[in-house]
Amino acid sequence: MTARGWDELDVLLITGDAYIDHPSFGAAIIGRVLETEGWRVGIVAQPDWRTVQALQVMGRPKLFCGVTAGNLDSMVANYTAARHRRKEDNYSEQGSPGRRPNHAAIVYAQLCRRAFPGVPVVMGGIEASLRRVAHYDYWEDKLRPSILLDSKADLLVFGMGETAAREIARRLAGQQDLGGIRGTARLLGAKATAAADFSAHLQLPAWDDLQKDKNLLLPLTRTVEREQSPFNGRPLVQRHGDRAVVIESPAYPLSGPQLDALYELPFQRRPHPSYGKPIPAYTMIKDSITVVRGCPAGCTFCGIGVHQGKFLTSRSEDSVLKEIRLMSESPDFRGTISDLGGPTANLYGCKNDQDDACQKCRRPSCLSPTICSKFQVEQDPAIGLMRAARQADGVKHVFVQSGIRMDVAMRTPEYLSELVRHHVSGHLKVAPEHLHPDVLRRMRKPSGVFERFQEIFREESEAAGKEQYLVPYFISSFPGCGEEEMGVVEGFLRKSRWNLQQVQDFIPLPMMPATAMYVTGLDYDTGKPIKVARGAGERLRQLRALRPLENGQQRPGRPPSARPAGAEPSPPASAADWDSVG
């Protein structure tokens, strides 16, 4: 601040992650976006939440405090699926745990209130996004009200917040009201609630009613999901006693040129120089490039599509090549791009918002139960990008590590051939999740695809003269999965003698359809009772069905555990992978 001649900040951002100035991290993106608008921005990373002085090091901000728990929900960051404390926090220096509190967004917002009385508090990030309405908290095993009630924040930004952040700063600078901003939610007081006209809003099941009947979590989740589209989503309201949480329609996705401009902001692409030891999350992504945003799959257990939205935006090839040139100029770059990806790498260039029918559609998934006829599957843009990337100066290898959608890949044979021949680092990560058709339906995942894809991948690898392996990812204890359903996966693994690298014990994230099934014991689509593994013993039995073979045995047929000499295992893509066993 002294070097820049600043006597005060306009915006102070507080994050639960170590600060890395890279576009993979939310606080960095929002900070750079506001900076380009001319605002003076300061960031406090992982403050000591036991003292207000930790936030006061740069003085009182003029416009607002923005808080985020970080790139993960803080309860996911702090606890495993077995509700045990994690031994490592990959978003902290040296992976040290304990650097962020439980329910970090709430704690930081309350701390801002104490540190800077009267300064507006805005919360965002995935923790706030998925907890904006009344929700189930798995780690506390109870329903909780909207995070706005406990945090006392003035405004909540849900989804990707670049557009909202600009508007919030503009309005506060002009002393304007914060109501009606797309992609935001706020809590009205009792008097404002009584005077408000909610005729244009959809009423969600009230908090008081949810406490009496947990089964109302099903219609609550269905309504929120149905109104997720920015093109037709209606504003929502949920009453909490005599107060109301008002949720505006979602923000529109960024266009391709807007996404290009975002990734071309002056990120330093490295951790803050105050850190002397490595940050695991940075090590994982430092040589990766995000090329697509959004996820149209609508998987019932995953928060990515809910947070980023289902509509795809792809960066231009020129923008990606500019980023590659910047990477190649770094003294730490060794010539290998670890990933050209996003939520799903092979959806780069695909489109699902070009048709009027798409903008009227309320389906949560463009890919389930089958790929929608309006979904434009494209392979040429991705093929062109991969070829241009590997021909760039200073680049020796370009890999795809973030995973691909198998059903889409089988519709793009030229892309799949290009991928297998040039962009697999010995391992290709895929996510069949399960093999029983009923469980897959509840996940919104395709049935019978993995087995067919496995054979195509083997044939393509042999044709390329390469020894390469699939790294499949399975989930145990998913709602509707009992011993019989888990036995289908176990039988397949035993028959093929496959030794898994990644296994996930199901974690019910807030606001997910799978979580509503877990809480209610009812099928999300039919409302009929289903089996739910709740106890630690039953969950452990399902997890053990996916256990590796003992005594050094290997599953033949190109097992993922048997990699060629010198090949490195694929890094985890998310906190879910860090629950892996075997």
Q: Is residue 557 part of a domain?
A: yes
Q: What pLDDT score was predicted for residue 429?
A: 87
Whether the CB-CB separation of 404 and 430 falls below 8 Å is answered with yes
Which of 184, 217, 245 is where one domain is finished? 184
H or E segment to which residue 382 belongs: helix 380-390
The secondary structure of residue 10, as a DSSP letter, is S
Please tell me the distance from the alpha carbon of residue 532 to that of residue 12, in angstroms, as a whole number: 44
pLDDT exceeds cutoff 50 at 581: no
Q: Which residues contact 576 (CB under 8 A, 6 or more apart)?
A: 504, 507
Is residue 126 in a domain?
yes
Per-residue confidence at 221, pLDDT binned at 50, 70, 90?
A: very high
Region 142-157: mean pLDDT is 98
The pLDDT, as a whole number, for residue 495 is 87
Q: What's the confidence (pLDDT) of residue 561?
A: 35
Q: d(Cα 248, Cα 250) in Å, to the nearest integer?
A: 6
Please report which confidence band the pLDDT of residue 24 belongs to, taking 50, 70 and 90 as the band edges.
very high
pTM attached to this predicted model: 0.92
Beta strands in 355-495 (DSSP E): 397-398, 427-433, 469-476
pLDDT value of residue 439: 97
Q: Between 561 and 536, whose confidence is greater?
A: 536
Q: pLDDT-based confidence at 326, cuts 50/70/90?
A: very high
Mean predicted confidence (pLDDT) in 149-174 = 97
- Determine the distance from the C-alpha atom of residue 334 to the mean position of all C-alpha atoms in its chain, rounded to a whole number: 28
Query: Does residue 371 lie in a domain region?
Result: no
Segment 513-537 mean pLDDT: 96
β partners of residue 491: none
pLDDT value of position 319: 97
How many independent structural domains does the chain possess?
A: 2
Distance CA 424, CA 468 (A): 8
Burial class of residue 144, CB neighbours in 10 A (0-12, 13-18, 19+): middle
User: Residue 155: which of 135, 181, 134 has the closest Cα?
Assistant: 181
pLDDT at 32 over 90: yes
Alpha-carbon span 449 to 407, nearest angstrom: 6
* DSSP 8-class letter at 353: S
Cβ neighbours for 343, distance < 8 A, ≥ 6 positions apart: 292, 293, 294, 295, 304, 305, 308, 402
SS3 content of the chain, % helix, strand, coil (to 5): 35, 15, 50
Q: Are strands 11-15 and 64-68 parallel, antiparallel or unpaired?
A: parallel
Tell me the mean pLDDT in the region 512-531.
Answer: 97
Mean pLDDT of 325-331: 92
CA distances from 579 to 126, 278, 473, 477, 503 (A): 19, 21, 12, 14, 7
- Structural domain includes residue 80: yes
CATH of residue 45's domain is 3.40.50.2300
Cα–Cα distance measured from residue 495 to residue 440, given in angstroms and rounded to the nearest whole number: 20
Rounded Cα distance, 177 and 298, in Å: 34
- Reported for 37-40, long-range contacts at CB under 8 A and 24+ positions apart, including other chains, are 37/166, 37/169, 37/170, 39/10, 39/11, 39/63, 39/169, 40/1, 40/4, 40/6, 40/8, 40/9, 40/10, 40/11
CATH number at residue 569: 3.30.750.200
Q: What distances in angstroms separate CA 389 from CA 245, 289, 460, one per listed residue?
A: 46, 11, 22
In a domain, 237, yes or no: no
Work out the average pLDDT over 416-433.
Answer: 93
Which tens digits make up the pLDDT trace of 39-59? 999 999 999 999 999 999 999
Alpha helix stretches (DSSP H) within 267-333: 280-285, 304-308, 317-328
Q: What is the pLDDT of residue 352?
A: 94
**Which pLDDT score is estimated for 551?**
42
β-pairing verdict for 469-476 and 427-433: parallel
**Residues, the chain:** 582
pLDDT of residue 570 exceeding 80 = no
Query: Which residue, 184, 212, 229, sits at the end of a domain?
Result: 184
Residue 494's pLDDT band, with cuts at 50, 70 and 90, is confident
Q: How far apart are CA 49 and CA 394, in angstroms?
A: 44
Is pLDDT above 60 for 389?
A: yes
**Which stretches of 424-501 are DSSP H helices?**
437-443, 449-463, 483-496
**pLDDT of the residue at 562:** 33
**With helix as H, strand as E and coil as C, how does 87-128 read?**
CCCCCCHHHCCCCCCCCHHHHHHHHHHHHCCCCCEEEEHHHH
Averaged pLDDT of the chain: 92
From 184, 215, 249, the end of a domain falls on: 184
The answer to whether residue 341 scores a pLDDT higher than 50 is yes
Question: What is residue 503's predicted lDDT score, i.e. its pLDDT?
Answer: 81
What's residue 80's pLDDT?
94
Residue 112 domain boundaries: 11-184
* pLDDT (average), residues 101-118: 98
**CA distances in angstroms from 248 to 123, 217, 219, listed in the order given:** 15, 20, 19
Residues whose CB is less than 8 angstroms from the CB of residue 452 and which lie 6 or more positions away in sequence, other chains included: 410
pLDDT, position 93: 97
For residue 3, the tally of other CB atoms under 10 A from its CB is: 5
CA dihedral 442, 432, 340, 286 (to 10 degrees): 90
Query: Mind listing the pLDDT tens digit for each residue in 354-382?
Result: 889 999 999 999 999 999 999 999 999 99
pLDDT value, residue 153? 98
* % of the chain surpassing 70 pLDDT: 94
245, 146 in Cβ contact below 8 A?
yes
Does residue 257 fall inside a structural domain? no
Residue at 349 is within a domain = no
Check residues 550 and 103 and name the one with the higher pLDDT.
103
Structural contact between residues 268 and 32, judged by C-beta atoms closer than 8 angstroms: no
